[in-house]
Structure 1
Amino acid sequence: MDVETFLSFNWFVMIPEFIILGFAAALSVIDLFLNRRKSRKWLGVCGLLGIVLAFISLLLLESNGTVILYDTFVFDSFAKSFKALLLIGTAVVFILVLNENWDGLDEKRGEFYYLFLTALLGAMFMASSRDLITLFIGLELLSLSTYILVGIRTKNKKANEASIKYFINGAIATAITLFGMSYLYGMTGTTSLDTMKLVLANVNEPDHLYILALSFLIMFIGLSFKIATVPFHMWAPDVYEGAQISVTAFLSVISKTAGFILILRLFLTVFDVIQVNPSETMLTALQSFLVVLSALTMIIGNTVALKQKNIKRMFAYSAIAHAGYILVAFSSFSNVFYFDTIWFYLFAYLLMNLGAFAVIQFVCGEARTDNISAFAGLIKRSPYAALAMTIFILSLAGIPGTVGFIAKISIFLSALTANTPQLLLAVVMIGTTIISYIYYFGILTQIYFREHETYHKIYISKSIFIVLFICIAGTLVFGIFPNTIYPLFYI
């Protein structure tokens, strides 16, 4: 690439990524030369400032489908709306990090902050990728950063176990995904999704279609590890339990969002143009596989959560169940509700899940235990935290008046309005949602009807209060006026 070609690219569409990269690099250099005894907390404030600046620059950019770097990077409405989700979620997680108890590990805070930024950068690149290579690089940048974040407490046995399990499962998932991608490259001779789409639109040989179907199944299995769907979910409970609460919150929201971004970009671009027969594409031909995966994920995620006493493990299985709900929207292929339904559900999940993790961090940090009994008598010890957790639980359960209800009803309607109505998925979704009431309301039982050993007042810190205010406001306002947030999807 010569200088003239390099300068001809419209680099302005990458300003949010450049800001995140610049802050991550600056924080890593500052942390390297900063005295070990100095507090690193202010580095987190700088990282949060970088995320805010990146978000502002994102809103100022026009999503006109600009393509640069030889069709490998695109800035369209899909990329803009999902990047907005990633930036908002990471900003909320950063506020949680600023409040986290480090137990003498303050010298590691610096790398903690810029690892979050590099993980965010990888996810943002995935949102704009139109090439297998850039998709894979973004995925690995996200994955490698989170592997380290999970195991950053090197003297904690649970963190060590979680990090090893996460790394091994992640490495296997990456290898499987890359193996599936190799079939696509072998069939088309290109890594560009747009060029690949043109080549595959003319494929009609039965042997070639078989290879492409195999590629679909292999890649989806690999990516199922990333979004923690059944039966590729077994790493999630141990990782959620062993990681810092802020890291667990990041994995449950940002990492899951990034996984669905990759699935939407890759599978809808490539496999929806391959004609298996005159009336259906390969994506619709393999719909039954997605339906079964979605149903199993909802059923197992919710039923296993019933037996959990550790609050982080319970939310791990809850996250698995919510991945199943999103798969309902993905596998329905509804013409009326699709991208906006998935985006809105991820946005709703961001608000209610990060809000719940903020309360978990506050309550479990005070009690020094992750057992659900830590919430006993919370209404007397901290009424505001109890009220906040109640709102988030009701939203996660899908009770009317909350953003969770609007998100679930949108997915339910997407299943019913599909070209082939997915009645089975709709029934399973209703049934598993009712099952989820048992363990969700079990937390409320602890808060309102169980006695605690002590009744000393516990007070919410400023950073936790900010997170709770943002998440409660979003949960209630967008639950009552959901149309006010949809324009962000079309910016």
Structure 2
Amino acid sequence: MSVVQSVDNVALLPAYLAAGTAVLVLLADLLVARARVTVVAAALGATATVVGAVLVGSGGERRTFCVGSDCSYVFDGRAALVAVVVALLTLGVLGLSGPLLRDGTSPAGEYCFLLAASMTGGVVLGAAGDLITLIVALETLTLPLYVLVGLRRGSLASIEAAVTFFVVSVVATTLTLLGAALLYAATGALHLGRLGALFAERPELLDLPLTTAAVALVVLGLAFKVAAVPFHAWAPATYDGAPLPVAAYLSTASKLGGVVALLAVVQRALPAEVTGPVLALLAVLTMTVGNLVALRQRRTVRLLAWSSVAQAGYILAPLGALALAAGRTDDARAAAYAAAVAYAVFFVVLELGAFAAVVALRPAGAAGGTLDDLRGAARRRPWPAVALALALIGLAGLPPGLAGLFAKVTVVRSLLDGGAGWLALVVAVNAVIGLAYYLKVTAALWAAPVPGGVAGPAASGPGEPVPVGPVPAPAVRAWSVAAVLVAATAAALVLGVAPQLVLDLAAR
């Protein structure tokens, strides 16, 4: 029996552009061998990916690699949103990486190629229609980051962070692959839509121990990628040991990839009555532990890392309410999915803004330092300090950070509509706890500086040499790139133009 498989090259255009960016960077590095040309090639490719995703996404849903009604690649409004955000995050990280590449700390060709390869995985991930495509895309997004974390020459902390990230991520991938294999053994299907239909038509499959084990392994494996408690221990050490731009990418694009993968599996393949209670428990643990530990952090990047853990809990909360929303209207379930996507998008944009401001406030190529190093920063460099304050206020969900406030209100409203009032209360309590450390950092920016400044031992990352003598000021170009990036982001978000647009796209 012959099987005809359809291929839609237009649907694949954003993936072609992302993969072409990686090839273009390799050629630029080989033929020209100038860091500036290589970075420009990567930036042009990422920009072309954004344009391609917008054009293809505006034309409605497109499917390819289909056999019958089962498709391995579905490019719709949500996939276009994910592709655009990942490509824009890549552009932002390239802008922040200027000092790192100019001083030769990291080789420009390898650095830009790995970023482009990771961007390709993120673009494909949003459109994945089966478990194999989803896992391969997620690993394509993650694998280059192992090398990027350890690519900083002469840094023991960077190598330690890369090894930690690699070992934990391999375990997570193994669990996810084992879960996918067991799901195939129990159902004979791998396409997400087909799995969802099978569980709906044959509820007796849920009673099989094999199915229970498969669902648990898939959810727990993806929870590693999101850095959900208790699978979070790798994140703070990895973020703190990585170069600041790479830590920014880890905290944004990598986390967004984990959320997108988990959302796709929960929404389309796995039954909500099984995954809902597990995700609700993970959400409560993640936001509570993340916020409580962040209160005690003195290192800037570790505080942002624990804040990122807590924010993952807010993203998981709407998915945890699906077990209760399953018995309600389809609108309640759609609102839960849209709330998770919208919150993830706003989080990664604000998190990138926070890291951009930290890069602008720190000496070129330096680690994130401690909170004492940020004291009085607003007196020395007011605009980056204001940008950092705006990003932190947005993450806290306070005005004038309308995007963060909108995102938290959207999550709470989806929980109330889904009948999970107790989970909405937990989110509200944790949001209040989070105010303590966000406002503490914001207040430190205008406080009196600590004598000794950044020249003390605390200013260095773990395993890094202590600076001796005067510390050079951040490069003007790095400051301007970071300031423009954060100012543009803050302007769009504070004006409140983006929130409803993102929510509308997420609901498609």
- Whether 2:319 is the aligned partner of 1:301: answer no
- Give the deviation of 1:23 after TM superposition: 1.7
Change (3 A) 1:434 1:194: closer
Instruction: Show the 5 A alignment for 1:107-186.
Output: 108-186=107-185
User: Distance between the aligned counterparts of 2:499 and 2:62, measured in 1?
Assistant: 29
- Give the deviation of 1:63 after TM superposition: 4.6
- Give the deviation of 1:490 after TM superposition: 6.6
Aligned to 2:281: 292
- The partner residue of 2:494 within 476, 481, 489 is 476
Aligned to 2:315: 326
Q: CA RMSD in A?
A: 2.5
Which shows bigger deviation, 227-236 or 149-158?
149-158
- Give the deviation of 1:21 after TM superposition: 0.9
- The partner residue of 1:311 within 300, 317, 320 is 300
- Give the deviation of 1:77 after TM superposition: 2.0
Aligned to 1:66: 62
Aligned to 1:243: 242
- Amino acid across the alignment from 1:150: V
Change (3 A) 1:366 1:130: closer
- Whether 2:483 is the aligned partner of 1:462: answer no
- The partner residue of 1:422 within 399, 420, 423 is 420
- Give the deviation of 1:103 after TM superposition: 4.3
Aligned to 1:373: 372
User: Distance between the aligned counterparts of 1:411 and 1:235, measured in 2?
Assistant: 27
- Give the deviation of 1:255 after TM superposition: 0.9
Aligned to 2:413: 413
Aligned to 1:52: 47
- Listed as ranges, the gaps of 5+ residues in structure 1 are 273-282
User: Distance between the aligned counterparts of 2:358 and 2:482, measured in 1?
Assistant: 10
- Amino acid across the alignment from 2:338: D
- Amino acid across the alignment from 1:69: F
State whether residues 356 and 393 of structure 1, in contact with CA within 8 Å, keep that contact through their aligned partners in structure 2.
yes
User: Distance between the aligned counterparts of 1:268 and 1:487, measured in 2?
Assistant: 17
TM-score when normalising by structure 1: 0.90
1:310-347 deviation per Cα after TM superposition (whole angstroms, max 9, x unaligned): 10111110000000000112212353422322222122
1:178-202 deviation per Cα after TM superposition (whole angstroms, max 9, x unaligned): 1111111101223222333343333
1:443-462 deviation per Cα after TM superposition (whole angstroms, max 9, x unaligned): 12221122254899875633
User: Distance between the aligned counterparts of 1:258 and 1:216, measured in 2?
Assistant: 19
Q: Percent identity among equivalent residues? A: 27
Change (3 A) 1:122 1:288: same
1:246-300 deviation per Cα after TM superposition (whole angstroms, max 9, x unaligned): 111111111111111111112221123xxxxxxxxxx224422221111010110
User: Distance between the aligned counterparts of 1:301 and 1:470, measured in 2?
Assistant: 29
User: Distance between the aligned counterparts of 1:452 and 1:41, measured in 2?
Assistant: 37
State whether residues 294 and 328 of structure 1, in contact with CA within 8 Å, keep that contact through their aligned partners in structure 2.
yes
Aligned to 2:339: 341
Change (3 A) 1:261 1:81: same
User: Distance between the aligned counterparts of 1:484 and 1:206, measured in 2?
Assistant: 39
- Amino acid across the alignment from 1:93: V
Change (3 A) 1:130 1:368: closer
Aligned to 1:225: 224
State whether residues 99 and 463 of structure 1, in contact with CA within 8 Å, keep that contact through their aligned partners in structure 2.
no
Aligned to 2:328: none
Change (3 A) 1:185 1:9: same
- The partner residue of 1:40 within 32, 35, 39 is 35
- Give the deviation of 1:34 after TM superposition: 4.7
State whether residues 302 and 321 of structure 1, in contact with CA within 8 Å, keep that contact through their aligned partners in structure 2.
yes
- Amino acid across the alignment from 1:319: S
- Amino acid across the alignment from 1:66: R
State whether residues 395 and 475 of structure 1, in contact with CA within 8 Å, keep that contact through their aligned partners in structure 2.
no
User: Distance between the aligned counterparts of 2:101 and 2:19, measured in 1?
Assistant: 27
State whether residues 224 and 231 of structure 2, in contact with CA within 8 Å, keep that contact through their aligned partners in structure 1.
yes
Aligned to 1:98: 98
Change (3 A) 1:339 1:453: same
Give SS of 1:399's match.
coil
Change (3 A) 1:77 1:387: same
- Amino acid across the alignment from 2:165: Y
User: Distance between the aligned counterparts of 1:481 and 1:221, measured in 2?
Assistant: 32
- Whether 2:233 is the aligned partner of 1:234: answer yes
Aligned to 1:275: none
User: Distance between the aligned counterparts of 1:42 and 1:374, measured in 2?
Assistant: 34
User: Distance between the aligned counterparts of 2:319 and 2:164, measured in 1?
Assistant: 28
Give SS of 1:13's match.
coil
User: Distance between the aligned counterparts of 1:457 and 1:218, measured in 2?
Assistant: 48
Change (3 A) 1:430 1:381: same
- Amino acid across the alignment from 1:163: A
Which shows bigger deviation, 439-448 or 207-216?
207-216
- Give the deviation of 1:102 after TM superposition: 5.8
User: Distance between the aligned counterparts of 1:243 and 1:96, measured in 2?
Assistant: 14
Change (3 A) 1:429 1:91: same
- Listed as ranges, the gaps of 5+ residues in structure 2 are 326-330, 454-471
- Give the deviation of 1:385 after TM superposition: 1.5
Aligned to 2:82: 82
User: Distance between the aligned counterparts of 1:194 and 1:288, measured in 2?
Assistant: 22
State whether residues 20 and 50 of structure 1, in contact with CA within 8 Å, keep that contact through their aligned partners in structure 2.
yes
Instruction: Show the 5 A alignment for 1:263-282.
Output: 263-272=262-271
- The partner residue of 2:437 within 427, 436, 439 is 439
Which shows bigger deviation, 15-24 or 75-84?
75-84
- The partner residue of 2:20 within 19, 22, 44 is 22
Q: Number of matched residues?
A: 472
